[in-house]
Structure 1
Amino acid sequence: MDKEWVFLHRRSDEYLLGLRAFISHAVAVAGIDGNIKCPCKVCGNRHQRSVTDVEDHLHISGMDDIYANGIWDKHGETIPNVTDEIHHMFQNEDMSSLLADAFGMHDYMAELDVVDEQSSPPYGPTPYAAKFFKMVEEAQTELYPGCGKSKLLFLVRLYQVKTMFGMSDSCLNAMLTLIKQWFPNVDLPESFYKVKKFITDLGLTYEKIDACPNDCMLYYKEHANDTSCHVCGSSRYKRVADSENPSRSRVPQKVLRYFPLGPRLQRLYLSRYTAESMIWHAEHRPKDDVLRHPADSKAWEQLDSIDPTFGSEARNVRLGLASDGFNPFGTMSQSHSTWPVVMSVYNLPPWLCMKKPYLMLSLLIPGPTSPGNNIDVYLRPLVDELKILWEEGIPTYDAFKKEEFNMRAAVMWTINDFPAYAMLSGWSTKGYKACPHCGHSTKSYWLPNSQKCCYLGHRRWIPILHRFQRWTVAFDGHQEHQLPLITMTGAQCLQELSSLRFKFGKNIKQSEKNPKRK
């Protein structure tokens, strides 16, 4: 069902045509005695109204924002099911052709015998060669002889059900055992561990990167084989093998979970429906100077001006980075802070870009305490990959246009509360210079009775002739005559930060910071 009319001006002819088409469809599919639920901002789908009342309400008040940007499940809209789509594709298309489309290997099948896999690019189609043939074999394997159902598809669905309903590993193991006992012909793994091994080639994996317990460094790249921190000297492991117990496994003190971003961005283009939505901002977005999508913002235009080649390819991905801490133990009294880093995709339409399937967990920074300014240590794998995505790009197959292109990606902004903003930006949001916009010109006063800082000077940002500029009683007793500050450019920000030197880690002893006099 077309949704673009919802975001048009309510007095326009296009809005009225879209409104009447929506009502006609809703009455035919989900109507009860000629009445439908009214999705206006006042009714919010709580009341059944006549066709005339619904049209009047939507024409006067407009559609409820939450419903307009969500799934229209009250008026007969067909909700897309990824599993059904995959099942349909498996039943109606040749398996080898389908998987060749998925891995973007049409032009590379003849080269598989001569290309050295180790010398291929990190995300190119050629490293998928071994996966391709294995996936073809596994996807054609039946769940039991004569059923015609794919074993691989069943295991993917089983993994999805486990995640949706929070099933434990032991629960799924018992379920697999029961199925194998009652249906001996079904060829299933014996445990959830083997299920995960079976579907590893789908890309549902992550990397474990050991970290210093004091957040000084990652055991990554040039330090991958180190056994102690080169900053504080802490051991990498809390339990290591020794001469008495040589078989005892080594247990790292802290582990960062990193979910590679590139393969997941590639998978957005494996579905022809999602691939079409990824270029909505360029081909279907209303361009009427109304801000309804990040593509209408100045930041979007500025990125295009910085690199015109990036903006000329609508399939290049614009990302947002969000992070905050949470306690995974819920309301328990235990204090714990785990920090996920989530990437959101802004190429998609407004009703999809903030939905759960398109919010990608990129990093899971372990606790038990907040990383603070040391979050930069944990962001390194993501930053390294983002550099590749920006500078080089990765070969990606577009299932909608049936062609391969070089996909690039860029982070446009970060989304945080104020404390997390300080951690990611490097600008302290506490003390006398807490305002990131005013910077060194922040007007602040110490309130001795409340023992807090008070920030004034915000009237400089309103128009010069505004009455608040001359109002003294409600503020600090003075009129405001200062002009708004000029926003710093990116180059100026880098220049401000160029002289800073950071020492990461929390294991800095007090005696080292302030040595006692002898």
Structure 2
Amino acid sequence: MTRDYWMYKASCFSKLYIDGVRTFIRVVEANRVNNGNESISCPCNLCKNFKTFNFIGEIEYHLLQNGFVPNYTCWSRHGKTLVDCGTSSSNINIHKSTYNNDSYVDEDDHHSNDPNDNFNEMFDDMKTNMDDVEQEKLQRVFEEAETPLYSGSKFMKLDVVCRLINLKSKNGWTDKSFTSLLEVLHDILPEDNVLPISTYQAKKLMYKRKKDSDEVDDDVTKNGPPAKILWYLLIIPRLKRLFSNEKEAKLLCWHSEERVTDGKLRHVADSPQWRNIDKKYPEFGKEMRNIRFGLSSDGINPFENISSRHSTWPVLLCIYNLPPWLCMKRKYIMMSLLIQGPRQPGNDIDVYLSPLIDGLKTLWSSGVDVYDAYKKQHFQLRAMIFCTISDFPAYGNLSGYKTKGKKACPVCEDQTSSIWLTNSKKTVCMGHRRFLPKGYRFRKKTIEFDGSIEIITMRKRFDAFSRVANLNVVLGKRFRVDKNALWKKKVNFF
């Protein structure tokens, strides 16, 4: 059998291909021993001889998974002189003494001690650790590996599906577009073809084991992938670095030293909330270098497709001490948390916010000693969350308020005026005229609005903490919320 056949035409799951890869590994190891090399370039279809590895087993795994780089029948980088380029794989037999290594023996010797040369032993051992369901799934995979794509085809069903899924992964195809491609290929091929016609059917052919048993190991890395991953980027060291730069430290004082105070709203510092905080916490407001953060969070999918199997939630902090043209620049927006998992964190986002809240508590209570390169002095830096920025669903997760249904407005709460639209099956909030001053002309108009005169006034301000002071919700556990309850939890911000 020619090398061109087993390398590129035989199925990656066939015994012919596996034996050929084992022969190639022997040639590679012999060439490394003869030349005294430490690393070997990988000729798989992904690495393409550009990446090198010190462990020969890594190369063998790549070749079994990805196949060879095209047109590499002459192994010029892996020991061309040891075997002739036209020699068939069945005629290659490199003697044990050539390797100068006792662990490599003749290909027909089934008692080899080489860990990279015991595929059959590993497979037999894997079968003994499987239950009946897994053995049935694995047997089905081998049956698909020996099933032709259609009558007379030289390509096997599993081999074709694996190649198509690799293309899908490399090029970022969506499940919908991949299903369309499978349907077109199924119509083009002969009528008796067995190509799957959906992404779901194609992925069902893949076999993947999670673990050998259900026992929990002390080493968490052996217990399978975690449900979610949290990346926490410390904010205190980053604030120290900002103040260590003279230019940046000066910009952080802009709201106090260079802002024009003429009564117009040009900056967040012109808002009533900023003044109220200075009045309520005079010690905090006295130090102009104290940081006021705006916290923002929302879910995104960075993998170019709309998938319900993955969700990434960044938690960003913007600094309102800066000039308005710099507050929202990417350079000054700090990513503090990155939450990754198959689902959004939902109400349990407080669990992931805990390390950030701990850092903010330190910055609020005692503060941290920071050197100001602009004023050439040390001072106690403090910080606070000035506001949050999010869409309505994320607002519900961050605040704990129930932002769905008839009472979805967090300002009006139980006094929300809402109407159910029968045709569109949506709830819309009305009654916005109550926020107008008393005697305003729009309050008396009926035809232009909902046909009634607005006599209700805006409700008085309330303390949100009083609504959740008695709530005791265990995060991470499913719990039933009272249908009439408007607040679902007591968030860490309180």
Could you give the per-residue CA deviations for residues 265-285 of structure 1, whole angstroms, max 9, x where no partner exists? 111101100001110111111
SS at match of 2:355: helix
C-alpha contact (below 8 Å) 1:240/1:248 kept by paired residues: no
C-alpha contact (below 8 Å) 1:239/1:249 kept by paired residues: no
User: Structure 1 regions of 5+ residues with no counterpart?
Assistant: 1-169, 176-237, 510-518
User: Structure 2 regions of 5+ residues with no counterpart?
Assistant: 1-46, 53-209, 481-494
Could you give the per-residue CA deviations for residues 127-153 of structure 1, whole angstroms, max 9, x where no partner exists? xxxxxxxxxxxxxxxxxxxxxxxxxxx
Equivalent-residue separation in structure 1 for 2:313 and 2:407 (angstroms): 26
Equivalent-residue separation in structure 2 for 1:458 and 1:303 (angstroms): 28
Deviation of 1:333 after TM superposition, in Å, equals 5.0
C-alpha contact (below 8 Å) 1:241/1:248 kept by paired residues: no
Partner residue of 2:278 out of 278, 281, 304: 304
Deviation of 1:464 after TM superposition, in Å, equals 2.3
Deviation of 1:459 after TM superposition, in Å, equals 0.8
In the alignment, which residue of structure 1 is the partner of 2:474? 503
C-alpha contact (below 8 Å) 2:308/2:343 kept by paired residues: no
Could you give the per-residue CA deviations for residues 319-338 of structure 1, whole angstroms, max 9, x where no partner exists? 11000000111235564221
Structure 1 residue 356 corresponds to structure 2 residue 339: no
| 1:386/1:245 CA distance change after superposition, 3 Å | closer
Equivalent-residue separation in structure 1 for 2:341 and 2:216 (angstroms): 32
Deviation of 1:466 after TM superposition, in Å, equals 2.5
Q: Which amino acid aligns with 2:250?
A: E
Could you give the per-residue CA deviations for residues 18-59 of structure 1, whole angstroms, max 9, x where no partner exists? xxxxxxxxxxxxxxxxxxxxxxxxxxxxxxxxxxxxxxxxxx
Structure 1 residue 421 corresponds to structure 2 residue 392: no
Deviation of 1:376 after TM superposition, in Å, equals 1.1
Equivalent-residue separation in structure 1 for 2:212 and 2:282 (angstroms): 53
| 1:330/1:295 CA distance change after superposition, 3 Å | same
Give the root-mean-square deviation of aligned CA atoms.
2.9
In the alignment, which residue of structure 1 is the partner of 2:465? 494
Equivalent-residue separation in structure 2 for 1:299 and 1:482 (angstroms): 26
Deviation of 1:452 after TM superposition, in Å, equals 2.1
In the alignment, which residue of structure 2 is the partner of 1:460? 434
Equivalent-residue separation in structure 2 for 1:252 and 1:241 (angstroms): 15
| 1:296/1:258 CA distance change after superposition, 3 Å | same
Equivalent-residue separation in structure 2 for 1:380 and 1:244 (angstroms): 26
Q: How does 1:46-195 map to 2 (within 5 A)?
A: none
In the alignment, which residue of structure 2 is the partner of 1:272? 246
Deviation of 1:417 after TM superposition, in Å, equals 0.7
Equivalent-residue separation in structure 2 for 1:296 and 1:430 (angstroms): 33
Structure 1 residue 329 corresponds to structure 2 residue 300: no
Equivalent-residue separation in structure 2 for 1:371 and 1:379 (angstroms): 11
Could you give the per-residue CA deviations for residues 42-86 of structure 1, whole angstroms, max 9, x where no partner exists? xxxxxxxxxxxxxxxxxxxxxxxxxxxxxxxxxxxxxxxxxxxxx
In the alignment, which residue of structure 1 is the partner of 2:357? 383
In the alignment, which residue of structure 2 is the partner of 1:469? 443
| 1:405/1:465 CA distance change after superposition, 3 Å | same
Deviation of 1:493 after TM superposition, in Å, equals 1.2
Q: Which amino acid aligns with 2:469?
A: S
C-alpha contact (below 8 Å) 1:327/1:335 kept by paired residues: no
Equivalent-residue separation in structure 2 for 1:277 and 1:266 (angstroms): 14
Q: How does 1:214-233 map to 2 (within 5 A)?
A: none
In the alignment, which residue of structure 1 is the partner of 2:380? 406
C-alpha contact (below 8 Å) 1:241/1:249 kept by paired residues: no
Query: Higher relative contact order by CA 8 Å / sep ≥ 6: 1 or 2?
Result: 1
Structure 1 residue 315 corresponds to structure 2 residue 293: no
C-alpha contact (below 8 Å) 1:240/1:249 kept by paired residues: no
Deviation of 1:398 after TM superposition, in Å, equals 0.7
C-alpha contact (below 8 Å) 2:278/2:284 kept by paired residues: yes
In the alignment, which residue of structure 1 is the partner of 2:455? 481
Q: Which amino acid aligns with 2:473?
A: F
Structure 1 residue 449 corresponds to structure 2 residue 423: yes
Q: Which amino acid aligns with 2:278?
A: D
Q: Which amino acid aligns with 1:440?
A: D
In the alignment, which residue of structure 1 is the partner of 2:36? none
| 1:252/1:482 CA distance change after superposition, 3 Å | same
Equivalent-residue separation in structure 2 for 1:245 and 1:301 (angstroms): 55
Could you give the per-residue CA deviations for residues 152-184 of structure 1, whole angstroms, max 9, x where no partner exists? xxxxxxxxxxxxxxxxxx99x979xxxxxxxxx
Deviation of 1:484 after TM superposition, in Å, equals 1.5
SS at match of 1:453: strand
Name the larger-Rg structure: 2
SS at match of 1:366: strand
Partner residue of 1:374 out of 342, 345, 348: 348
C-alpha contact (below 8 Å) 1:342/1:362 kept by paired residues: yes
Deviation of 1:462 after TM superposition, in Å, equals 1.4
| 1:473/1:332 CA distance change after superposition, 3 Å | closer
In the alignment, which residue of structure 2 is the partner of 1:104? none
Identity of aligned residues (%): 47
Q: Which amino acid aligns with 1:347?
A: N
Could you give the per-residue CA deviations for residues 270-315 of structure 1, whole angstroms, max 9, x where no partner exists? 1100001110111111111111111111111111112111111111
Deviation of 1:477 after TM superposition, in Å, equals 1.8
| 1:298/1:329 CA distance change after superposition, 3 Å | same
Equivalent-residue separation in structure 1 for 2:442 and 2:216 (angstroms): 77
| 1:477/1:243 CA distance change after superposition, 3 Å | closer
Equivalent-residue separation in structure 2 for 1:262 and 1:244 (angstroms): 36
Partner residue of 1:291 out of 237, 256, 265: 265
C-alpha contact (below 8 Å) 1:386/1:410 kept by paired residues: yes
Deviation of 1:480 after TM superposition, in Å, equals 0.4
